Amino acid sequence: MIKQTVVIVGSGQAGFQTAASLRLEGFEGEIILFGDEPGLPYQRPPLSKTYFADADAQRLLFRNADFFQRNRIKLWDNARAARIHRDRKEVELEDGRTIAYDKLVLALGTKNRELPIPGTRLANVLQLRTLKDADLLRHAAKNASRAVMIGGGFIGLEVASVLRGEGLEVSIIELEPRVMARAVSKPISAHYEQLHAASGVEFHLEESVTSLTGNKKGEVEALTLSDGTRLNADLVVVCAGVVPDIAIAQEAGLAVENGIRVDAHLRTDDPDIFAIGDCASFVHAASNRLVRIESVQNALDQAKCVAKNIAGQKGAQPQAYDRVAWFWSDQAGTKLQIAGLTGPADQWHVCQSDSPEKLTVLAFKDSQFIGAETVNNASDHMTARKILSGRDKVSFKDFESSGFDLRRLAREKTRTG
């Protein structure tokens, strides 16, 4: 058999895992993995968490350089794809090089949403996506005393926590009436608003920033909010969400819809091109909705699925992607975890808790269990995942009759199922 070449664009969580999993699946052809960042592929989650304290970049790496050699994975850094020539099955890099592929995997991730307001180019107005961003932020934080987060989502809150820990005064500006509004239920938002407020974080909810102003040196000095309030700041972190980084897919004529559109096997409308991770949108089988998920779990599991489908024998049934989504966040000294996709929930149930530090909130849609949010309760989280990955649907009534005891319910379900 002629050996195939798989080219993977984007060497983040999903791109790296695809390369590693292809070898685990016994793929023997050539693997070229490239991305536009410098250095070896690394993990992003610690950037807004432990990296702040330890600044140990080596700890972030997925693998040593040795691993790539041993596994015959050609890794190119500082290489950005400019165009995909589908007719010739080639990727053209910004530096003019071209690479031919048999199969192409797009793992392009996201880029930060830019704010359409004056002043975002001032010094000390930063963002956090890459290791380089994290180093700039750590450095700026050393000389700052008043930080403002624009955006109260996961990353905004994690960074707020870390900066409070460094002794900075911290404010958060959030457009929605509550933090993490698009991702979690009201009880969880309220829990975290309370925790962060107790640690000294100040909130400006239902507010937006209309402009940033700087001093003579071109450093940020203040923000103006939509209600006219002026906040002084010597460090501003823009964490106002991200958008998929998919211009090259769009220009190549691939279908896009809030991300690169893929089918159940993570294939785009070109049978030789796949898309995975933060940049891909797909129909979530359990809820029949088009989703794009930004999480480590999604990136990892989609990478494994794509590797199976590429390395699989000709004629073998391709594998459909159907893993239960889960996510975590570290904030204010607590562990927040989400199992399942709770977006469409129309009913929430807050479970009784044996400790004020623990919280479990269950999500239902049309009386069916679709997910759980937990604070400091890893065992409820893991049990919820077990229930969600089972074949049987579980209803609100099932929970009622088991006294909302997740473990009991899981035992009952596995016994009958």
Ligand X SMILES: Cc1cc2nc3c(=O)[nH]c(=O)nc-3n(C[C@H](O)[C@H](O)[C@H](O)COP(=O)(O)OP(=O)(O)OC[C@H]3O[C@@H](n4cnc5c(N)ncnc54)[C@H](O)[C@@H]3O)c2cc1C
- Evaluated on CA atoms 266, 269, 271, 272, the torsion sign reads negative
How far apart are CB 278 and ligand X at their closest, in Å? 4
Helices 186-198 and 154-165 sit at what angle, rounded to 10 degrees? Answer: 20
Among 296, 319, 335, 405, binds ligand X (CB under 6 A): 296
Q: Give the residue ranges of DSSP H helices in 185-225.
A: 186-198
Q: Does 329 bind ligand X (CB under 6 A)?
A: yes
Q: State how beta strands 98-100 and 90-93 pair.
A: antiparallel
Q: Does 354 bind another protein (CB under 8 A)?
A: no
Which residues, numbered 280-339, are part of the site for another protein (CB under 8 A)? 296-297, 300, 328, 330, 335, 337
Q: Does 180 bind ligand X (CB under 6 A)?
A: no
Q: Does 39 bind another protein (CB under 8 A)?
A: no
Q: Does 87 bind another protein (CB under 8 A)?
A: no
Q: How buried is residue 352: exposed, middle or buried, by Cβ count under 10 Å (0-12/13-18/19+)?
A: exposed
Q: Does 371 bind ligand X (CB under 6 A)?
A: no
Among 64, 98, 215, 401, binds another protein (CB under 8 A): 64
Which residues, numbered 8-27, are part of the site for ligand X (CB under 6 A)? 9-15
Q: Which residues contact 70 (CB under 8 A, 6 or more apart)?
A: none
Decide if 33 contacts 140 (C-beta within 8 A).
no
Degrees, nearest 5: CA angle 274-324-241: 70
Q: Does 193 bind another protein (CB under 8 A)?
A: no
Q: Which of ligand X, another protein, none sits in contact with 382, Cβ below 5 to 8 A by type?
A: another protein
Task: With contacts defined by CB under 6 A, name the span among 95-103, 191-199, 224-232, 324-332 that binds ligand X.
Answer: 324-332
Q: How buried is residue 52: exposed, middle or buried, by Cβ count under 10 Å (0-12/13-18/19+)?
A: buried
> Which one, 225 or 243, has the nearer CB to ligand X?
243
Distance separating alpha carbons of residues 136 and 126, to the nearest angstrom = 8
Which residues, numbered 147-166, are part of the site for ligand X (CB under 6 A)? 155
In Å, how far from its chain's centre is CA 132?
A: 18
If we measure between CA atoms, which residue out of 240, 128, 271 comes closest to residue 173?
240
> Which one, 60 or 345, has the nearer CB to ligand X?
60
Q: Which of ligand X, another protein, none sits in contact with 337, Cβ below 5 to 8 A by type?
A: another protein
Q: Does 81 bind ligand X (CB under 6 A)?
A: yes
> Which one, 50 or 402, has the nearer CB to another protein?
50
If we measure between CA atoms, which residue out of 167, 133, 112, 152 comes closest to residue 47?
133
Distance separating alpha carbons of residues 235 and 167, to the nearest angstrom = 13
Amino acid found at 275: A
Total of chain residues touching another protein, rule CB under 8 A: 30
Among 36, 234, 301, 380, binds ligand X (CB under 6 A): 36
- Eight-class DSSP state of 183: T
How far apart are CB 341 and another protein at their closest, in Å? 18
> Which one, 103 or 129, has the nearer CB to ligand X?
129
Q: Does 63 bind another protein (CB under 8 A)?
A: yes
Q: Which of ligand X, another protein, none sits in contact with 129, Cβ below 5 to 8 A by type?
A: ligand X
Q: Does 61 bind another protein (CB under 8 A)?
A: yes
Q: Which of ligand X, another protein, none sits in contact with 37, Cβ below 5 to 8 A by type?
A: ligand X
Distance separating alpha carbons of residues 51 and 131, to the nearest angstrom = 9
Reported as type and span, the H/E element at residue 76 is: strand 73-76
Amino acid found at 150: I
- Where do contacts with another protein occur on this chain (CB under 8 A)? 20, 24, 43, 45-46, 49-50, 58-59, 61-64, 66-67, 70-71, 296-297, 300, 328, 330, 335, 337, 378-379, 381-383, 386
